[in-house]
Structure 1
């Protein structure tokens, strides 16, 4: 067969969005790639909803995603806002997403029972696509045992419709005396994917994207027997067959059925950027202190600094750079502080979307990083986490109770879902929960080496009993021996067999008035409580690099 004949065979794959999407049947299970806006086929998602409004079909779709395909005002959130405004209940019959946090409207719809809503952790979700693509019944994992995800404790259902329908479920299985959860969900029949370039045969490359995502695994799950489905990919351009090098093909052409060229404005790298070569990994910028503007010394930076000091201790102990994961919010600021202190080279910083190194973005652009030196697929990244291959992780928290249980994200009126939290928390051997001591409107600053609480937050985060358990230290310890700290701007707690022990308080803080009075339980306290390092509360650099160079004899 000649080169021209091979090229010709793939020409029919390039079609309009409507031509491709019109093949989706009512009631289909549709898998959509996307980590916020990274790898989200925004054009396909919005055109699918537009087709439904135009024709009434396809309807009653069950939506599955590896993370969340959108951000506030874009992607799935934009559709949810329009559905809610119109009172349009026919488009979606159910959803399985690890994260709903970027859409207050979706969360409201879940609470109001518009459709079935389920959640798993990102790592479980990404593995599930790979397992289904292999013809297996689901994902078997220790993650989630004795937490909110355990079927004996409510399982993964977020509302009553989901509990009654049970389309997504978990089963407890015992292997060698240990309990595991078998996570199961409907096999996807349609894949909505995203790449940068597709050639005439349908081969897809991702050279402009900020992450690898899960597109290959979604495509595999869709194509797996016994019910072979079809995949639609959104790209920026179509090239002649042979122009994409074999090693640069992210999804082979035979797995792609339709190629749709998207307008540039519906194919940004992230929420706030069209195209940044540093984000796609084509340019690596030296991460010197001059590269990062110093963060203001507010309570968020104070916490990030304290986490950095803990990680520096671990570097000195191990005698080498350490592999770390940084979660969304305050934990992601640790990377910025590491660059300020010129110690980024001692910490191999990873984020759950796949990048290694660089400086992670925060907010809606979380998942992307400036100048990463490597990028893994999301399933491969979570293998690093669940397998305990990393050295440490810092994650946020919403509530903590006396036993050390953590609720990272779920309240009666708030249903963001676990994101990557559950897998990372279970797998990390050194775990540093990082967050404000209280929540709500507050004014907390550092002045001359001490903490000053000008206005206290009115929401307690250290409570008698968390609303939902997303991290259970007893189960996690059976899975992986862990060192666990709970780090705030005014106090640090260590997890022990008897519960939480208060080990440090900030300079300038009154133990009774500023700490114990704002907790719903009394932590373990023995003897004198240490004072947090004063360097954390001063504007100048902490000079962490000198300590590390001395410890490592650089």
Structure 2
């Protein structure tokens, strides 16, 4: 039976040198009061220090100085295992990495979820083909983010002639997690949370090796009053409960996000007609009826809005790795949630079907692209942010990268159905050398994946000749506005054509009236 304690007493169970795992993605399942109390204790006493920290998805991304950033003190943290270090307003950990103050590993979300799962199961680790010949391949070593990061967490193994990465399971001493309700026995439910995000495995990973599980909740329910099907974490995996009745203040309960209600949705007006919409609309032209589609963070997350505008969203199933299946995924600060879903799955099971090749298409961002069609999204301007990208692209049949042609200071007008580049971006994105190889173009060709790179002024695809230019926007000079803004000269298709002129006028594209939607 779990014991209800004060926050002051709860954090006494976190000791120097331990490995702790923290639940949450953004504000979802974020035990922020526990982390705040832990930070205060460190500032006042210098303890605990030398912590090893694990988190599946970045906790506390929406508010500066909250969540995982509360632990970003040089001697408080020794080592971190994570898939993201910088997103939205989380930034302090990234600063420690750039100063070589901590050990840090950048791990694909899918692999990290399974590292926690295998820890919970008492297994030695997880074997996966995801990440071979990318920067996380241990032979490349890019997953170690600082010079002081020495330990090996993975190795390459060959089984029946195929290469796999073996990630070792972890040793978890304490799990700091959040739920909505705990009953008097310590059973936890998450009725106000949009996703579960591997919560049960996190608790099991600590408890099953003799560790401690501390759960922050909003309220206490009477013993025996919780329906068994509502229990997300049984009390056999919980040691201590702390109560924070204000834990939902930063992001209040939204019944649409949890699937408790269905709501009318018409968000076409959320996408103003500008060059960004040109990119998203051209990307949406790669949708087909019946597809199962993942959408990434940022610009690519707006593809479902275009599908709604075009009246084709009911014929596509959108999915985000955080949990939602079907419905309309959210964008921006509420990314990872959705409305009107048919189901909400746990993240580790979603990555299972991603890795198996179940996705028909994915729409993702791209920060750097080289002549071979390989892409970097994980290390840009000294910032590390990987997420589920490598898992998502591993086996997906069609991959559509969405992004502006250049970055920083880009100013483009759309006039009379043509692009007018008022000021180009200061940063070239089509480069000779990538900061990280997050996506391997050569491997995609071997796997017969269809790959497109959509920008506001040009569209490329991946062929045996490498990155191949297939479309150019009206009003754009091929030499001055495209080729001269790249560090290399791509292959130019003999059938190079103008991008569809419907993209450059405000009216809907009319996709529903054209093939394949009209068939």
Q: TM-score range by the shorter chain?
A: over 0.9
Partner of 1:7: none
Deviations 1:67-118, CA, capped at 9 Å, x for gaps: 11111414335425xx5xxxx5321111111011222322111110121111
Summarize the alignment of residues 427-466 of structure 1 with structure 2, pairs less than 5 Å apart. 427-466=395-434
Partner of 1:94: 79
**Alignment pair present for 1:382 and 2:351:** yes
- Give 3-state SS (helix, strand or coil) of 1:525's partner: strand
Pick which of 236-245 and 12-21 moved more. 12-21
- Give 3-state SS (helix, strand or coil) of 1:63's partner: strand
Summarize the alignment of residues 324-473 of structure 1 with structure 2, pairs less than 5 Å apart. 324-411=293-380, 413-473=381-441
**Alignment pair present for 1:286 and 2:301:** no
Pick which of 528-537 and 323-332 moved more. 528-537
Partner of 1:148: 135
Going from structure 1 to structure 2, the CA distance change for 1:550 and 1:380 (only over 3 Å counts) comes to: closer
Residue pair 2:116, 2:169 contacting (<8 A) in 1 also: no
Give the deviation of 1:528 after TM superposition: 3.8
Give the deviation of 1:286 after TM superposition: 3.4
- Give 3-state SS (helix, strand or coil) of 1:172's partner: strand
- Give 3-state SS (helix, strand or coil) of 1:293's partner: helix
**Alignment pair present for 1:267 and 2:251:** no
Residue pair 1:402, 1:465 contacting (<8 A) in 2 also: no
Pick which of 351-360 and 498-507 moved more. 351-360
Deviations 1:420-462, CA, capped at 9 Å, x for gaps: 1111011211110111111110111322322221111111101
**Alignment pair present for 1:76 and 2:44:** no
Q: Please, which runs of 5 or more residues in structure 1 have no aligned partner? A: 1-9, 316-320
Residue pair 1:38, 1:368 contacting (<8 A) in 2 also: no
Partner of 1:56: 46
Residue pair 1:38, 1:367 contacting (<8 A) in 2 also: no
CA–CA separation in structure 2 for the residues paired with 1:185 and 1:37: 27
Residue pair 2:35, 2:68 contacting (<8 A) in 1 also: no
Give the deviation of 1:481 after TM superposition: 3.0
Partner of 1:132: 119
- Give 3-state SS (helix, strand or coil) of 1:68's partner: coil
Q: Please, which runs of 5 or more residues in structure 2 have no aligned partner? A: none
Partner of 2:443: 475
TM-score by length of 1: 0.89
Going from structure 1 to structure 2, the CA distance change for 1:136 and 1:536 (only over 3 Å counts) comes to: same
TM-score by length of 2: 0.95
CA–CA separation in structure 1 for the residues paired with 2:313 and 2:515: 11
- Give 3-state SS (helix, strand or coil) of 2:383's partner: coil
Partner of 2:229: 247
Residue pair 1:36, 1:367 contacting (<8 A) in 2 also: no
CA–CA separation in structure 2 for the residues paired with 1:364 and 1:115: 28
CA–CA separation in structure 1 for the residues paired with 2:102 and 2:378: 21
Give the deviation of 1:155 after TM superposition: 4.1
Pick which of 357-366 and 112-121 moved more. 357-366
- Give 3-state SS (helix, strand or coil) of 1:402's partner: coil
Residue pair 1:205, 1:250 contacting (<8 A) in 2 also: yes
**Alignment pair present for 1:299 and 2:286:** no
CA–CA separation in structure 2 for the residues paired with 1:212 and 1:371: 17
Deviations 1:475-513, CA, capped at 9 Å, x for gaps: 3455x4311111111111110122011111112111111
- Give 3-state SS (helix, strand or coil) of 1:494's partner: strand
Cα RMSD for the two superposed structures:
1.8
Give the deviation of 1:13 after TM superposition: 1.6
Deviations 1:156-198, CA, capped at 9 Å, x for gaps: 2111111x3x1x5210101111111111253111111111111
